Structure 1
Amino acid sequence: MPPPTAISHVLETCIYVKSMAAAQNFYTDLLGLKPDLATDRITVYPLGQTTLLLFQLGQTSNDVVSEEDPGQIIPKHGPTDDLMAAFQSSKGKLRQHFCLAVPSREDAEKWETYLRGEGVPITGRKKWPRGGYSVYFADPDGHVGEIASRGIWEHY
């Protein structure tokens, strides 16, 4: 049996953060992303057809059950209890990867200069065979961020 419909794109992707305040400062103030929702548990950044979700580490360990309809549940997600202690320690890092898109190589290079000037650790860069360019950086939680221009994939 084939799938019922075609999947069009990734709607949400998430990363887990140790300090929501530090993460909000980085993503909102430094990267200039505009939150649609910001709480101590979650921050939501709409980006084109995709949404970047920041979750406070340890705050998604239980199902969220609707009070109006207990049959509607958002299931728990994130690290299991046996991994949580390592991630919450000062040395534990998740190093989740995400990539933010810009139109041109020049734009990616401008971001590289900007991030370096703001003291953000630049952890790598890559010239892609299709002509794209990526700059990699570390966010406050050690996640591997990437800003990439068109030309890294066939579709972008």
Structure 2
Amino acid sequence: MQPSAILETALYVTDLDAAEAFYADVIGLERIAKVLGRHVFFRCGQGVLLLFNAEATRHAPKPDAKLPVPPHGTTGPGHVCFAATPAELDQWKSRLDGMGIAIEADFEWSQGGRSIYVRDPSGNSIEFAEPKIWGL
């Protein structure tokens, strides 16, 4: 057996409001769920991007919790990569530059394909890349 896709990806943030604004207003993702102070979730294509306040997810659920999700979380910057065509990469670069968001890196991979990198308000590494960097 082998999974067919990644359904959700989680990033942990230090300022949930700033992260929500970044992913909604800058990246343009659609909010699909939110619990104040704990998390905000976004639709991204066929998957979901989960943004968690790491402090709020490190504790075991209460015995009477409706959803007994085990504790999770991390410290330090994480990473997520959004798929983009070559034309979209140019559009992303223009959009991000126009919003005053520094492009940390912009390069061609030796196996083919281009990536650009920025940081979200919590310091997570956000990449936009052509799927062919992974042979897709």
Same fold by TM-score, threshold 0.5 exceeded? yes
Name stretches of at least 5 consecutive residues in structure 1 with no aligned partner.
80-86, 88-93
- Give the number of aligned pairs: 135
Query: Quick check: 1:23 aligned with 2:19?
Result: yes
Name stretches of at least 5 consecutive residues in structure 2 with no aligned partner.
none
Please tell me whether the aligned partners of residues 37 and 45 of structure 1 are also in contact (alpha carbons under 8 angstroms).
Answer: yes
Which 4+ runs in 1 deviate beyond 4 A?
none
Structure 1 residue 61: deviation in Å? 1.2
Relative contact order, higher structure (CA 8 A, sep 6+): 2
Query: Quick check: 1:95 aligned with 2:77?
Result: yes
User: What is the identity percentage for the equivalent residue pairs of Structure 1 and Structure 2?
Assistant: 33
Structure 1 residue 131: deviation in Å? 3.4
| Residue equivalent to 1:147 | 128
Q: Deviation string for 1:4-63 (max 9, x for gaps)?
A: x32111111111111111111100011110011122211111212321100012000112
State the superposition RMSD in angstroms.
Answer: 1.9
What is the DSSP-based 3-state SS (H/G/I as helix, E as strand, rest coil) of the residue aligned with 1:126? strand
TM-score by length of 2: 0.89
Once the two structures are overlaid, the 10-residue window that deviates more, 50-59 or 121-130, is 121-130
Which of 66, 74, 91 aligns to 2:69? It is 74
Structure 1 residue 130: deviation in Å? 4.3
